[in-house]
A and B are shown apart, each in its own frame.
Chain A
Amino acid sequence: MDITGLPILTLITFAPLVGAILIAFIPRSSAGLVRATALGTSLVSWALSLFLLVGFLPSHPNFQFVERADWISAFGIQYKLGVDGLSLVMVVLTTTLTWISILASFGPIKERVKEYMISFLILEVGMLGVFVALDLFLFYIFFEIVLVPMYLIIGIWGGANRIYATIKFVLYTLVGSLLMLVGILATAFAFQAAHGGNWAGAFDYETLRQFSFDSTLQLFAFLAFFLAFAIKIPMFPFHTWLPDAHVEAPTAGSVILAGVLLKLGGYGFIRFAVPLFPEAAHTYAPAIILLSVIAIIYGAIVALVQPDLKKLVAYSSVSHMGFVTLGIFVFQEQGLQGAILQMVNHGLITGALFLLVGVLYERTHDRTIAKMGGLSAQMPVYAVAFGFFMLASAGLPGLSGFIGEFLVFVGSFAYSPAVAAASTIVMVFAAGYLLWMFQRMFFGELSDFFKNAIGHLDDLRPTEVLTLVPLGVLVVVFGLFPGLLLTLVQGTVTEVLHGAAQASAINLAFWQ
Chain B
Amino acid sequence: MAIPSTVPFIGLSWDDVLFLLFATTMIGTALLVVSMRDIIRCGLAMMASFGALAGIYVLLGAPLVAAAQVLIYIGAIAVLILFAIMLTQSKAAPARLVFQTQAVPAGIAAVILAVVIALTVTATDWGAVTSRLGTATDELARLLFRDYVLPFEIVSVLLLAAVIGGVFLAKREEGGPQ
Direct A–B contact present (CB less than 8 angstroms):
no
By a beta-carbon cutoff of 8 Å, the part of chain A in contact with chain B is none
